[in-house]
Structure 1
Amino acid sequence: MLRTLLAAALLIVAAAARAEPDPGLAYGPELDGFPQPFPVARHAVTSQRQPVQMGYLDVPPERPNGRTAVLLHGKNFCAATWEGTIRALTGAGYRVVAPDQIGFCTSTKPAAYQFSFRQLAQNTHDLLAHLGIERPVVIGHSTGGMLAAHYALLYPRETGRLVMVNPIGLEDWSRKGLPPIPIEQWYARELKTTAASIRAYEQATYYAGQWEERYEPWVQMLAGLFRGPGREAVAWNSALLYDMIVTQPVVDRFPDIAVPTLLLIGQKDVTAIGKDLAPPEVRGRLGHYPELGRAAAAAIPGARLVEFPDLGHAPQMQDPAAFHRALLDGIAAP
């Protein structure tokens, strides 16, 4: 009996070893081959003594209202994942520019780059200057929300309005007890990324435990980067970016934000970068978005807070209709 069970177990292991660990389409290091919802333009610059390029979407409105919205994506997102919001904003008269930051999606994955929020904000500012855009509505989600806060702090006179959608960076994880995490550890973890791991994480945090098939293309978008020929470069850039996020907090600068600010917060969000690597006693103190959103609204002068009681980290994707109503209402005043 024991031999039979052992033989069966060995057959299962052998079958698993032969199986494709993460079947699906593979994309190039700049998301080559992924079907984009809008044409991708390229902005080539020299940054940190090397040529790099930013992919971006520049989508004209149906009936222009003379205003521009800039959409800043999150860590596990791309410009393309703003598709529904782009259509809502252009339908309301806004020109929409959605860049992929250096290290992400359709943009360059440098082997060596000093990633900082100031650098990414400067790259975005250079792109907007190139396009002749002044005083846009700057809308950032997740890591993009943290970047949007830095952008408003660096360029207050050139920011018409700031919108942060479930931004990370509402707390300083290191101050709350997150231990130092070597970049090599981030890199090793990122190399293990699969569609299954992405899907499980997104279901738990982005969608408050729910799942719908309409979320799957965005899972496959990310997974395709990690299946592709540039997976090591993608994983290394991802590791460098995680280090940037954890080591460059912005929450203490919130009182210095001097532009009209709207916070859109899904209340079932539990996101905290590195929480899975924190000791259990620390893990439980991180990612309480109802408290964090209200604290941020109190800290930012004149900020307006809109809460979505049943939504998670990505309200713009989980309930687009409710989210876009709140967004368009919140940015309607010039």
Structure 2
Amino acid sequence: MTRYTLLFLCLAFFPAFNAAADADIPAYNATLDGFAYPFDVDDFALESQGLDLQMAYMDLHPANQAKGVVVLLHGKNFSGFYWERIARALVKKSYRVIIPDQIGFGKSSRPQHYLYSFAGLANNTQKLLSSLGVERATIVGHSMGGMLATKFSKYFADTVERLILINPIGLEDYLQYVDYQDPAVFLVNELNKTPSSIRSYQQKNYYDGKWSPAYEALLEPHIGQLKHKDYPLVAMNNALTYNPIFSEPIIYDLPQLNMPVTLIIGTRDRTGPGRAFKKSGVDYQLGQYQTLGKQVAATLQQGQLIELEGLGHMPQFEDWQRFETVFMPLF
């Protein structure tokens, strides 16, 4: 058997294997009941916009006295569970680690109606930290969580010892280059998702067309929710959370921050929200992280840029060993 025949057979088998695996995933409701997180999950009750909501979070303590507190803020297509490896490494280094699911994500409440903003999500997060007695922390954000982490650092600067951003979006002002879209446009896309389309998006945009069984775990909550009667509510919240991505860029906030800021950038990343809605006549290329990282780092008061050549939007998953060698020495 030639290597080309073997490759063909593998590619032919892969979709069937995925379909079989997807069929085994149970249906999950809007708050992912039954989906196991790696650590114990608690709920923080808060009132926001006149609604009584529950904010899920994990709070990990080291065996000995904590050196400090680290708060990990998830991206848009994820929730707190995907921080497991980083959280374990930080606890091993004697840090207390707090991992919230933002309202509208993961095991937290998904309201019928909610005005999503990073200012509001930052306020919710500050309320959680205050309830846990946290006065100072290192804030780490990935992807959309990087936008939230930046806004949090702007609005609650006294709480932030330092800010670490892992391939954040918002390093460019998207509405300079794309037309604003009503959330209804994104809702249509959300309602049309399938297990295959979710997997294909991540494979293309996060992993340079490659795939690993390790990535499958990140898909389970999404695929499970597709199967549940709550999915229209999930889809609506997913659509509404696009609004702050377009309306609250962080490129203007980062130069104002006076705490240390570290950018960890996988330079192959080409994430550019709104690329499909580019304004007529605009030639600007969105998501050029090999350039964006350098441009933004040059504007920081106390900035550090760490570039990971050849890695994309998910460097912590794509190559843990390389990521670990630059991330863990920060602590």
Please, what TM-score do these two structures have when normalized by structure 2?
0.90
Q: Summarize deviations over 1:69-112 as a string: whole Å, max 9, x none.
A: 10000000110011111111111111110000001111111111
Secondary structure of the residue that 1:85 maps to in structure 2? helix
Q: Is the 8 A contact 2:180 2:246 kept in 1?
A: no
Structure 2 equivalent of residue 275 of structure 1 = 275
Indicate the SS of the match to 2:253.
helix
Q: Report the equivalent of 2:27.
A: 26
Superposed displacement of residue 201, structure 1: 1.3
**Aligned-residue identity in percent:** 39
Q: Is the 8 A contact 1:263 1:305 kept in 2?
A: yes
Stretch deviating more after TM superposition (77-86 or 220-229): 220-229
Match of 2:137 in 1: 136
Quote how far apart the aligned CAs of 1:300 are.
1.5
Which residue number in structure 2 is paired with residue 199 of structure 1? Answer: 199
Which letter maps to 1:232? Answer: P
Q: Assess, with a 3 A threshold, how the Cα gap between structure 1 residues 33 and 281 changes in structure 2: closer, same or farther.
A: farther
Equivalence for 1:209: 209
**Per-residue Cα deviation, 1:220-268 (whole angstroms, up to 9, x for no partner):** 2222222222101111011110122112222112210111111111011
Aligned to 1:9: none
AA at the equivalent of 1:126: K
Distance 1:202 1:242 in 2: 17
Alignment-mate amino acid for residue 206 of structure 1? Y
118-127 or 30-39: bigger deviation: 30-39
Corresponding residue of 1:246: 246
- Pairing of 1:119-134 with structure 2 (within 5 A): 119-134=120-135
Structure 1 contact 48–113 (Cα < 8 Å) conserved? yes
CA distance in 2: counterparts of 1:283 and 1:130, whole angstroms:
48
Give the AA of the match of 1:171.
E
- How much is the aligned-residue C-alpha RMSD, in angstroms? 1.8
- Name the amino acid aligned to 1:98: I
- Report if the CA contact (8 A) 2:161-2:260 is conserved: yes
Q: Which digits, 9 at most, give the CA deviation of each residue in 1:107-145, with x for residues without a partner?
A: 111111111100000000000000011211100000000
Deviation at 1:63, TM superposition (A): 3.7
Structure 1 window deviating more from structure 2 (166-175 vs 251-260): it is: 251-260
On the 8 A contact 1:140/1:146 being kept in 2, the answer is yes
2:67 paired with 1:104: no
SS in structure 2 at match of 1:184: helix
Q: Segments of 4+ in structure 1 off by > 4 A?
A: 279-284
Give 1:234's aligned residue: 234
> How many pairs align?
311
In structure 2, what is the Cα distance between the partners aligned to 1:142 and 1:153? 17
2:89 paired residue number: 88
Shift of residue 200, structure 1, vs aligned partner: 1.1
> Per-residue deviation at 1:64?
3.6
Alignment correspondent of 1:116: 117
Q: 3-state SS of the aligned residue for 1:218?
A: coil
